[in-house]
Amino acid sequence: MLFIALIKFKKKARDAAEYGKSILENLPKGVKIIGTYWTLGRYDAVWVYEAPSEKEAIKLGIDAGEVMQTQTLVAISREEAIKLLGKI
């Protein structure tokens, strides 16, 4: 499953970055980070990752909760979405 986490830092960026690094070095079972991006605007960062289930994705959010607030989205590829719509 593919997830996109929109992140707002609760602490200074340097503190959040250090804590985030430790989270990414100790990921829940089966979680694979595809990309980590710092952003301008409403959110400070974005994680794009794969996880075997929503439960494992929630574990990542819980681990990050001390220094960041996350809003996590479940995503599917455009191709998968079109298949769900039927033949176009």
What's residue 87's pLDDT? 65
Strands 2-9 and 45-50, sheet pairing: antiparallel
- DSSP secondary structure of 18-80: HHHHHHHHTPPTT-EEEEEEE-SSS-SEEEEEE-SSHHHHHHHHHHHTTTEEEEEEEE--HHH
Q: What is the CATH number of the domain that holds 9?
A: 3.30.70.920
Q: Does pTM surpass 0.75?
A: yes
What's residue 35's pLDDT? 95
What's residue 14's pLDDT? 84
Parent domain of 39: 2-85
Parts of the chain with a pLDDT under 70: 87-88
**Number of domains the chain contains:** 1
